[in-house]
Chain A
Amino acid sequence: MSEHKLSHHEEEADDRALFGFWVYLMTDLLMFAVLFAVYAVLHGNTDGGETGRELFKLPLALTNTLILLTSSFTCGIAMIAARKGDKRQTLLWFGATFLLGLAFLALEIFEFYELIHEGHNLGSNAFLSSFFVLLGTHGLHITFGLLWIAVTLGYILKRGLNRHMVRKLTMLSLFWHFLDIVWIFIFTIVYLGAFV
């Protein structure tokens, strides 16, 4: 088997894997679609409790949005570096993405904590149920994304930036941008929507 044929085989495998990952992302998006639809139906059902307009803090949500958008940007730069095969820059920019993601998660947990502390929790009413589950699902995805970044970076440190790693990083970056897009919808529909 010549080197040429082997790399062709690998290229095909990369192509398939990426395509499959896209299809997976679409299925995940459909799960979010359900949660958005549920939120759209239930957001007014506060059962006499406070509405989003009274509960949400826009500056906090905006800060979170900016953090996540920036993390998408650093993730993009990291991918450029990865395609060039620049291991140091890849680690650096993915590291930055990780930290921004962590900051986002921390702020979100803080927001949840405050709400729950004031007595607004999952079981309070249908509006809050759908709010917490929609944002919680996104937060859980971010958590998995962070875990994924951490593990991948560990492997890159150990094994270097080979072809397999670049394929995995490509999927990882797709996942990260996908979460960013979902968040933009959350910001628009949940937060801005509450103040329209």
Chain B
Amino acid sequence: MKELLVGKLTWESLPHQWWTIAGTLSFVLLGVAVAVVLTYTKRWKWLWNDWLTSVDPKKIGIMYFIAGFGMLLRGGLDVLMMWLQQALSSGNSHGFLTAEHYQEIFTAHGNIMVFFVAMAFIFGLINYIVPLQIGARDLASPLMNTLGFWLFIGGIVMVNMFFVFGGEYAATGWLAVAPLSGKEFSPGAGVDYWVWSLMISGVGTTLGAINFIMTILKMRAPGMKLLKMPLFTWGSLCSMMMAVTVFPLLTATLFLVYFDRALGTHFFTTTGGGDPMMYTNLIWMWGHPEVYVLILPAFGVFSEVVSTFSRKPIASYKSAVVGMIGVSVLALSVWLHHFFTMGAGANVNAFFGLMTTIIAVPTSVLVFNWIATMYKGKIRFETPMLWFLGFVAIFAIGGISGVMLAIPPVDFQLHNSLFLVAHFHSTVIGGVLFGVFCAYSYWFPKFTGFRLNERIGRAAFWFWIAGFCLSFIPMYILGLMGASRRLDHYDASTGWQPLFILMFIGGLVIAVGVALQVAQILASFIEKKRLLDTTNGDPWNGRTLEWSTQSPPAFYNFTVIPHVSSVDAFWSMKKHGLKKPVYEDIHMPKNTAVGIYISLFATFASFAFVWDIVWLIVASIIAIIVTFVIRGFNEDSEYTLPAQKIQQLEEARAHKNSAHHTAINNDPHHDMSTWELVAYLYKFAIDFVKNKKWRRI
């Protein structure tokens, strides 16, 4: 009976270790805090109508960013725990984590950083910027977009669910290598959580990618031929093309892992004729292209930023496009370099080693392209440009160590060592994360209508760079000295401890950098009147269409769809003078909660799959189908915004803007410093408590 009702769940599944209790408590407290604030400020309806059910890609983009940043903190906590363990656990000391717990932490760290941080940021950016860059008012399928977003949130819920139910996450490494991930060696619910959190967020990614391909290929402004698209859009298109190619492989592979565990099939088992090595192949066929899915939009960001901040068009637009396409095509044929040591044979290794080395060519074309763009440009060194320069330095190191690892004989020495870990962190942090930070400091004025605090932003950048070098240069050295990855204890005679301690200190420095980024946002919001963008939405003297809109853009993006005649569309529009708009009716999609419902049921289903709760599986799947049928035949999902209404909105806005645009001291040197922010917050808190300010909210 109990089995029927709650499956494999028992009382022991509830939190009882220190970390599960702490995790559960912090989720509960966070939830209560949010609920209290929303109730107190009467904002539930606002949250539901204006944000959660919104189909506006700009709002969904911002929600992706918020979720991604939350997960960055969550995954960052994992890193600090791992590095502290490594700093302590030498010789007789065994640190503060058990081996099992340590393994779960590095698994969760990898999953969270790749799926729920990097992917979140990239999807958030594409959502916000691509429609604006191609002169579209919306995405091809707004419903698919919100559904993809909420499935991604479902994935976040599932990856953290183990805190509350089960108490263990997969202890298998982020790709759950077979046969370790089979029932025989990992009997607990951890791997099932791994499977289902990646499953639903992966389906969400596939849906999102299909949608962006439709949008970019079918909804560009008139005149914008493929070779007139901004480079960020090109990067996004290449990335999404790769995503639709490889994410189905992930979904299929995850199903097979689940079948092995739940139904006793023999795909990746050591018995019954299964083939664990096939798993390694399948997962890396997805896994390698995945990192390029992440980096290509970042390449696009850098192309935009370097061109805008050097006040020059990109050095060779066509070679940049060819470079991006080259990277995406080659990226599909290099996956085997992840397991040269598996024994595929010298010829196979040679082929994949060569392909991997060749992929450095189009990548270098892009890097040289950016450098050539800076040559003889009038460069402005504001934070976006700093992130770009930081990227060039660190990514070059990551790229060179990558080419070293691509040589099979070298790889046999360095395989599974910390050298490899340092390599991919150089590319993923230096490339993807710096790209995201660069993008966010570049487009922040577009998101909000005011610019970011420059002083704290610079400090955050320098802490990041210093922290990165402090932790990852020792990691390269440790790798060369033979330290293997995923090490939770080592002998004192190795003499590695000082380097591991240095790594931990580097981690703390990075944490300060992250804290400064939070401080930067706070300080910018506090001073938002002074930081107001007075340039009508074009603070950087931008070149692409997103800068032609107001900041933040109206929910319909463009009052009039622009006609495009050159690559830097907005630049040439500025040169030739802007036309006075002629308003016309606009079709806009209505908000919908269908994405939330479907994803809620999908999360229930995933949870039920993890714990074998059959009735809940059946009920959730039926609920998903019913929701789809009801929505699928709803013919009333759009509304028309009449031209007159748009004119009113635009005039009201222009009026409001002209009221604001009095002389503002916008000089970055007068931006609030970190200490001033601390003093301000302190005063504010004292004032808030003493004068009972909450009564006036």
Known: A38-B256, A122-B264, A151-B629. A31 touches B140 (CB 8 A): no
User: Which among A41, A133, A147 is the interface contact of B275 at CB below 8 angstroms?
Assistant: A41
Please tell me if the beta carbons of A16 and B214 are within 8 angstroms of each other in the complex.
yes
Is A47 on the interface with B (CB-CB < 8 A)?
Answer: yes
Complex A-B: 22 CB contacts under 8 Å: A16-B219, A17-B140, A23-B210, A23-B244, A26-B244, A27-B210, A27-B248, A30-B245, A30-B248, A31-B248, A34-B248, A41-B278, A47-B266, A122-B263, A122-B264, A123-B263, A123-B265, A125-B266, A125-B273, A126-B267, A129-B265, A129-B266
Which A residues are in CB contact (< 8 Å) with B273? 42, 45-47, 125-127
Bound together, the chains give a CA A189 to CA B206 distance in angstroms of 28
- Which A residues between 106 and 137 are near B, CB-CB below 8 angstroms? 122-127, 129-130, 132-133
Which A residues are in CB contact (< 8 Å) with B625? 147
Nearest B residue to A147, CB-CB: B625
- Which 7 residue pairs across A and B have the least CB separation, nearest first? A45-B273, A126-B273, A123-B264, A129-B265, A34-B252, A30-B248, A47-B273
Bound together, the chains give a CA A130 to CA B273 distance in angstroms of 11
Is B217 on the interface with A (CB-CB < 8 A)?
Answer: yes
Which A residues are in CB contact (< 8 Å) with B213? 20, 23
B270 to chain A, nearest CB (A): 11
Is B448 on the interface with A (CB-CB < 8 A)?
Answer: no
- Which A residues between 1 and 58 are near B, CB-CB below 8 angstroms? 1, 9, 12, 15-17, 19-20, 23-24, 26-28, 30-31, 33-35, 37-38, 41-42, 45-47
Decide if the interface of chain A is mainly helix, strand, loop or mixed: helix
Nearest B residue to A164, CB-CB: B635
Which B residues are in CB contact (< 8 Å) with A38? 256, 267, 278, 282
Is A155 on the interface with B (CB-CB < 8 A)?
Answer: yes
Nearest B residue to A27, CB-CB: B248
Bound together, the chains give a CA A122 to CA B144 distance in angstroms of 34
Is A87 on the interface with B (CB-CB < 8 A)?
Answer: no
Known: A20-B214, A45-B272, A123-B272. 19 other contacts (CB 8 A): A1-B585, A16-B219, A19-B217, A20-B140, A23-B244, A34-B253, A38-B256, A38-B282, A41-B278, A42-B273, A42-B275, A123-B263, A123-B265, A125-B272, A125-B273, A127-B273, A129-B259, A132-B265, A133-B255
Which A residues are in CB contact (< 8 Å) with B140? 16-17, 20
Is A83 on the interface with B (CB-CB < 8 A)?
Answer: no
- Which B residues between 345 and 395 are near A, CB-CB below 8 angstroms? none
Nearest B residue to A44, CB-CB: B273
Task: Assign chain A's interface to a size class.
Answer: 35 or more
Bound together, the chains give a CA A19 to CA B217 distance in angstroms of 10
Is A177 on the interface with B (CB-CB < 8 A)?
Answer: no
A119 to chain B, nearest CB (A): 14
Is A168 on the interface with B (CB-CB < 8 A)?
Answer: yes
A21 to chain B, nearest CB (A): 9
Please tell me if the beta carbons of B265 and A23 are within 8 angstroms of each other in the complex.
no
Bound together, the chains give a CA A132 to CA B282 distance in angstroms of 19
Which A residues are in CB contact (< 8 Å) with B141? 16-17, 20
Q: Give 1 or 0 for each of B226-257: 1 = CB within 8 Å of chain A CB.
A: 00000000000000000011011101110110
Please tell me if the beta carbons of A126 and B272 are within 8 angstroms of each other in the complex.
yes
Please tell me if the beta carbons of B629 and A27 are within 8 angstroms of each other in the complex.
no
Is B648 on the interface with A (CB-CB < 8 A)?
Answer: no
Bound together, the chains give a CA A17 to CA B211 distance in angstroms of 10
B691 to chain A, nearest CB (A): 55
Bound together, the chains give a CA A70 to CA B251 distance in angstroms of 31
Please tell me if the beta carbons of B267 and A42 are within 8 angstroms of each other in the complex.
yes
Known: A24-B210, A27-B210, A126-B275. A34 touches B249 (CB 8 A): yes
Is B218 on the interface with A (CB-CB < 8 A)?
Answer: yes
Interface residues of A (CB under 8 A from B): 1, 9, 12, 15-17, 19-20, 23-24, 26-28, 30-31, 33-35, 37-38, 41-42, 45-47, 122-127, 129-130, 132-133, 147, 151, 155, 162, 164, 168
B635 to chain A, nearest CB (A): 5
Bound together, the chains give a CA A85 to CA B252 distance in angstroms of 39
A12 to chain B, nearest CB (A): 8
Which A residues are in CB contact (< 8 Å) with B206? 27
Please tell me if the beta carbons of B275 and A45 are within 8 angstroms of each other in the complex.
yes
Please tell me if the beta carbons of A9 and B587 are within 8 angstroms of each other in the complex.
yes
Bound together, the chains give a CA A180 to CA B632 distance in angstroms of 24
Bound together, the chains give a CA A155 to CA B631 distance in angstroms of 13
- Which B residues between 619 and 675 are near A, CB-CB below 8 angstroms? 625, 629, 632-633, 635, 640
Please tell me if the beta carbons of A20 and B210 are within 8 angstroms of each other in the complex.
yes
Known: A16-B140, A17-B141, A123-B264. A27 touches B247 (CB 8 A): yes
A4 to chain B, nearest CB (A): 13
B10 to chain A, nearest CB (A): 26
User: Which among A37, A123, A164 is the interface contact of B266 at CB below 8 angstroms?
Assistant: A123
Nearest A residue to B252, CB-CB: A34
A17 to chain B, nearest CB (A): 7
Please tell me if the beta carbons of A23 and B214 are within 8 angstroms of each other in the complex.
yes
Is B274 on the interface with A (CB-CB < 8 A)?
Answer: yes
Which B residues are in CB contact (< 8 Å) with A151? 629, 632-633
Which A residues are in CB contact (< 8 Å) with B278? 38, 41-42
Nearest B residue to A15, CB-CB: B218
B238 to chain A, nearest CB (A): 15
Please tell me if the beta carbons of A168 and B632 are within 8 angstroms of each other in the complex.
yes
Which A residues are in CB contact (< 8 Å) with B275? 41-42, 45, 126
Nearest B residue to A45, CB-CB: B273
A121 to chain B, nearest CB (A): 9
User: Which among B248, B587, B635 is the interface contact of A28 at CB below 8 angstroms?
Assistant: B248
B453 to chain A, nearest CB (A): 41
Nearest B residue to A20, CB-CB: B214
Nearest A residue to B251, CB-CB: A31
Known: A41-B278, A45-B274, A147-B625. A133 touches B259 (CB 8 A): yes
Bound together, the chains give a CA A9 to CA B219 distance in angstroms of 12
A173 to chain B, nearest CB (A): 16
Nearest A residue to B207, CB-CB: A24
B627 to chain A, nearest CB (A): 13
Which A residues are in CB contact (< 8 Å) with B251? 31
Which A residues are in CB contact (< 8 Å) with B640? 1
A116 to chain B, nearest CB (A): 13
Which A residues are in CB contact (< 8 Å) with B274? 42, 45, 126, 129
